[in-house]
Amino acid sequence: MNRREIVLAPIVHVLGARPNFVKAAPVIDALRAAGAEQVVIHTGQHYDERMSEIFFTELGLPEPDVNLGVGSGSHAAQTASLLVGLEEEFTSRSPALVIVYGDVNSTIAAALVAAKLHIPVAHVEAGLRSFDNTMPEEINRRLVDQLSDLAFVTSPEGVGHLANEGVDVDKAHLVGNPMIDTLLANLDKFDTDRVRAENGLPDRYVLATMHRPANVDSPETAAALVGHLHGVADLAPLVIPVHPRGRANLMAAGLDDHEGVHVLEPLGYIDFIAAVRGAAAVVTDSGGLQEETTILGVPCLTVRPNTERPITITHGTNRLVTFEELVPAARKALESQVGESARKPPLWDGQAGPRIAEVIMEFLVD
C-alpha cells in the first residue's frame, strides 16, 4: 500500500496574499510528486489581479478550487469573513491537514478554524519573531504557532523562539525557505533588461516598496516618508511599484512630484523580482524582500525598527534604517559593490519544498 492509498482525505492549502503564493508553490509541487490529493483555497485577501491571480499563472500553481473573495476591510471584519468561509469549506471537505503560510489574517483564521474542528495544522514559516506586538503580523505568528501540529522553520533561531514559547520542539522542523526555492527555480526568467524596457526604467535605479501600516497609514507619517524617498531620488532614480495599501496617502503626499521618482502599478512576481535583481539598492518595509535580496546580493535598506528575519542581516545584505538614516544609508549602499555572496543562510538551497513534503507525508501515515 502506498502513501496515496493511506492518505485519503485532501491536504488543504490556504493562501491569502502574494507572499503566500510564492511560499506555497514548491510545497504544492513536492506534495503533487508524492501523490497527495490537494485542495487550494484562495481567500481573496489580495484581490487585485496583479497581487494574486497572476501568481498562479507565473508560478505554475493549480487554479484555486475555491476563491472566498473576502477582499479588504478592518482586521476584525476581514478575519470574521474568513472564519465563516473557511469553516464551511473545512466542514465540507474534512481535510487530513490544513497548511497555512506566513502571517496574514488568512493564516490565523485558517489555523483557528482548523484547530476548533480538530484538523491538524502545518505552519510554513513558523518561529519568525520581531518581538513587536504593535505589528498585526506578530500577533498572527505567535498564535498560529501555538495552534500548529507541524512547525516548518526557515532559519535556526526560529526553533529557539518556539521552544521559548512552550511549543513542543518535536513539532519544529528546520527545512529552509520555500520562498527561496521559488526564487532559485525561476532565476532564468528574471529578465531585467526586458522589465527596464517595458517600464521605461533607467539603467541604474533604486527600487522601493512600502506598505506597512506604521509607514503609510497615517497621512503625516506617509508625508515624512515621501520626503526621505525624494532624498533617495536625489541620489539615483527611484522606482516604486505602489501597493494598494497606502497608495492614497503616498500619492497625496506628492510621491510622484519628484522628477526622479518612477511610480509603477504593482508588478507580477517575475517582473518584480527581475526589477529587484537589476536594482543598485532596495528600500522596503517588506519581510520577504529582505530574504530575496539576501540571495540576489542586492543591498537592502529595511525601513523598520525591527525584523523577524535577522538572518538576512547576519547572512545577507539587509540593514535596518530609520527615516532619518535612509538617505545616508542609501548613499553608502550605492557606493558599495555587494554582489552575490557565497555565504547563504543554512538550507536556503532550493529544496525546502521536498523537505516539507517528506515530513507531511510521514506525519499523515503514522
User: Cα separation of 120 and 148, whole Å?
Assistant: 7
Catalytic status, residue 42: no
- Are 34 and 65 in contact by the 8 Å Cβ rule? The answer is no
Dihedral of the CA atoms 260, 266, 267, 273 (nearest 10)?
A: 70
Of 13, 211, 230, 315, the active-site residue reads 211
Q: Calculate the alpha carbon distances from 177 to 41, 102, 347 in Å.
A: 22, 11, 7
User: Cα separation of 241 and 265, whole Å?
Assistant: 5
Instruction: Give the cell for residue 99.
Output: 497548511
Instruction: Give the cell for residue 272.
Output: 518584480
Residue (of 243, 251, 292, 271) closest to 17 by Cα position: 243
Residue (of 292, 290, 330) closest to 306 by Cα position: 290
Instruction: Give the cell for residue 158.
Output: 526560529
Those residues with Cβ within 8 angstroms of residue 349's Cβ, 6 or more apart along the chain or in another chain? 176, 180, 184
Tell me how far the alpha carbon of residue 281 is from its chain's centroid: 19
Residues assigned a catalytic role = 211
